Amino acid sequence: MADSDAIWLGVDLGTQGVRVLAVSGAGRVVARSGVPLTSRRDGPQHEQDPEEWWSAFLRAAVEATRDLDAGRVRGLSVCSTSGTVLFVQETGGDPARPVTPALMYDDGRAGAYAERAAADPAPGWAAAGAHPQASWGLAKALWLLDHHDVPAGARLAHQADLVTSRLVGQPVATDWSHALKSGVDLGAGDWPVETLARLGLAPARLPGVVAPGALLGPVSGRAAEITGIPAGTPVVAGLTDGCAAQVASGALAAGAWNFVLGTTLVLKGTTALPVEDPTGTVYSHRSPDGVWWPGGASSAGAGVLAREFPDADLAALDRAAGAYEPAGCLSYPLVGTGERFPFRSPDAVGFTVGRSADGAAERYASLLQGVGFVERLSLDHVRALGAPVTGAVTLTGGATRSAYWSQIQADILRREIVVPEVTDGAFGMAVVAASTAYPSLSDAAAALVRARERFEPRADVSDRFDETYDRWRAELTARGWLGAGS
């Protein structure tokens, strides 16, 4: 059993910023910090500067550890965006010097490479429901090799790998969670090297693969000097941001599901076996506990609010939105072009249709409700595939700051919504770090995760949303996004 005086560090390398949390063995956040990141977007292109990840992490780590008792820090783990890749090389004392840009999770330029991989898949991919798409790190890696002069000694890396390698001071293995979309065989826990070599990704470019929670190495003396993290602190292999948020939610029992609602929407659940989805929108991560985490990542989410209402008082809009339950207009809140879950439509664009009596407030209400409808469609989809959906649904991510939005989600889903005390993916990574002191990851989560709020569905409001949800689905069908029998 872990020491309640221990401190575990969790790091989340997100799209918009880097967050570091220090969490006690009792599950209390004792320090936190965050530093923003910038992106380069141009049509289907979405890149970030990998050096900015490191510089932002340094600033966040120094701030988070400034007042900590170094003797209590027992471990650290890092999560990052799923499908974000680059190539790095060990040179000049740097174990992970970037030699290409970082292509982010939603960079859309690698579609042709995904099609090539889908035509020659590794046998093990199907077991996890893994179907190559443009969002896959593998497709982006092949694109980078064709469009950049990548040195022969450079290796594939994920966002988290750059930080963990620099912390340890030497190249480290990647975890099978980040490597899922880069083509790892989850059943074997290793790369299908023959398949990847045929596609153009040579074995020499592949890092080692370990389970989340495995020890990567200790923080080096040099890294300790510039980060404030004590030298010798164990660096533990992490998870993707969606899986980290699931861990933070505590939804680790079979039949439990968690929505991560941030810039975009991610659904993760727990099942005894991976879920097979012929549409390719659901895939399963492998838990280090021996169960599976099926789910999918939508391109809809709260990012639309930042775009549509950049300077608005969102709390005031929350209050005004209560007059529109449901709104007279229907919205699909896509952040960019294309949808990948709960259906696949690469050309889909967000929409708002129907009558709006009051511009801003009703438009805002329709976007909140649109996200709830995407969530309901997502649960309908995994249930149709045979996955159990039982009990409450947990909700994590930045959108949980709005109690009104959480209530609307309970109404639309007709399920209790549970918001954990800490909804940050960085908290989930602190739990992963702490799992080294427990029999399992689920045991660590049971000890550290607490509920903050619960929202019960309001029957009369749910009844009204049922009819609106049916009209919303009909609009998706009319656009060809759903089959007529869906």
Q: What is the C-alpha radius of gyration for the chain, rounded to an integer number of angstroms?
A: 21
Tell me what pLDDT residue 133 has.
86
Q: pLDDT of 224-280, one tens digit each?
A: 999 999 999 999 999 999 889 889 999 998 899 999 898 899 899 999 988 988 888
Convert 174-196 to b/e letters by CB count within 10 Å (16 or more is b).
bbbbbbbbbbbbbeeebbbbebb
Architecture of the domain delimited by 7-238: 2-Layer Sandwich (3.30)
Q: Does the fold of domain 250-478 match that of domain 7-238?
A: yes
pLDDT band at 283 (very low <50, low <70, confident <90, very high): confident
Tokens of 234: 């164990």
Q: What residue spans define the domains of the chain? A: 7-238, 250-478
Tell me what pLDDT residue 242 has.
83
Tell me what pLDDT residue 481 has.
96
Give the global pTM: 0.84
Q: pLDDT of 373-416, one tens digit each?
A: 999 999 999 999 999 998 899 998 888 889 999 999 999 999 99
| CB-based contact 47:104 (threshold 8 Å) | yes
Separation in Å, CA 227 to CA 23, 139, 231, 265, 325: 17, 33, 10, 31, 48
Tell me what pLDDT residue 358 has.
60
Question: How far is the C-alpha of 409 from the C-alpha of 389, rounded, in Å?
Answer: 16
Q: pLDDT of 124-179, one tens digit each?
A: 898 778 889 888 999 999 999 999 999 999 999 999 999 999 999 999 999 999 99
pLDDT band at 357 (very low <50, low <70, confident <90, very high): low
Question: How far is the C-alpha of 308 from the C-alpha of 458, rounded, in Å?
Answer: 28
Phi–psi pair at 210, nearest 5 degrees: -135, 170
Tell me what pLDDT residue 170 has.
98
- The CATH number assigned to the domain with range 250-478 reads 3.30.420.40
CB atoms inside a 10 Å sphere around CB 316: 12
Tokens of 376: 């309901």
